[in-house]
Amino acid sequence: MRDLSFEPLTPTSFLRRSASVFTHRTAVVDGESTFSYAELWQRAQLLAGALRGIGVADGERVAVLAPNTHMLLEATFGIPVSGAIMVPLNIRLAPLYGLTETFGSAVICQPQPEWATLDPAQLAGRTARQGVIAQPVRVIDGDGNDVPADAVGTGEIAVRGNDVMLGYHRDPEATRAPHPMAGSAAAMSRCVIRTATSN
């Protein structure tokens, strides 16, 4: 009987109810695009079906890098409808390069006042590579040595601090594996490092 008296209120159940109760009312206004609650629910279901169609299973994580538009809202509902877990990535992050081992704010883009006069291409170049962090981010070679900050030599990003995960999800073997920079999380993607004054 107790099972019949409790139903968790989840974002997906909220949207499903709204699609029934407020079917034709406006749920989303995004520039020129508008969607009713029924349309938003349908779009979330379509996304969920697409994710399942490409093999995303229950409990798997789906990373989303999107601006604050209807696409992000649809992902917020569609991913959990599919049974997966949404991992939103901050669009203002500096180089991502596989930084799935850290909390999003470990590396962020901190706009500078003097960038206000830059043209769009220059601004994009600055924001795509500038990172402010809680603890210094290193780029290391296979032996754990720092790669020169010359924007040429490549290595792996290595981060340490309370932004770093405790282990890999459902992968204890990878969690136990040693790394040249003990106590750090390292991304496997290749990257370069440059000085703060580099253009």
Closest by CA to 133, choosing from 154, 161, 175, is: 161
| Domain total of the chain | 2
Per-residue pLDDT of the chain (199 residues; tens, 9 = 90+): 566 677 777 879 889 999 999 999 999 999 999 999 999 999 999 999 999 999 999 988 898 878 888 999 999 999 999 999 988 876 654 644 445 566 555 666 677 888 889 988 888 777 766 555 556 677 788 787 888 887 777 777 777 766 677 777 777 887 777 655 544 454 444 565 655 544 4
Verify that 27 and 125 share a domain, yes or no: no
Verify that 165 and 67 share a domain, yes or no: no
Cα separation of 196 and 107, whole Å? 14
Which domain CATH number covers 137?
2.30.38.10
pLDDT at 140: 81
Verify that 103 and 188 share a domain, yes or no: yes
User: Is 75 within 8 Å of 12 (Cβ atoms)?
Assistant: no
User: Is 23 within 8 Å of 39 (Cβ atoms)?
Assistant: no
Contacts (Cβ under 8 Å, ≥6 apart) of 98: 157, 187, 188, 189
Verify that 56 and 73 share a domain, yes or no: yes
Verify that 195 and 119 share a domain, yes or no: yes
How buried is 44 (Cβ within 10 angstroms: 0-12 exposed, 13-18 middle, 19+ buried)?
A: buried
pLDDT at 199: 45
Verify that 96 and 29 share a domain, yes or no: no
pLDDT at 97: 41
Domain boundary among 88, 118, 140: 88
Verify that 25 and 78 share a domain, yes or no: yes
pLDDT at 77: 95
Closest by CA to 96, choosing from 86, 108, 112, is: 108
Which residue range forms the structural domain that includes residue 74?
A: 1-88
Cα separation of 23 and 38, whole Å? 5
pTM of structure? 0.51
Domain boundary among 48, 64, 88: 88
Domain boundary among 88, 117, 135: 88
Verify that 62 and 37 share a domain, yes or no: yes
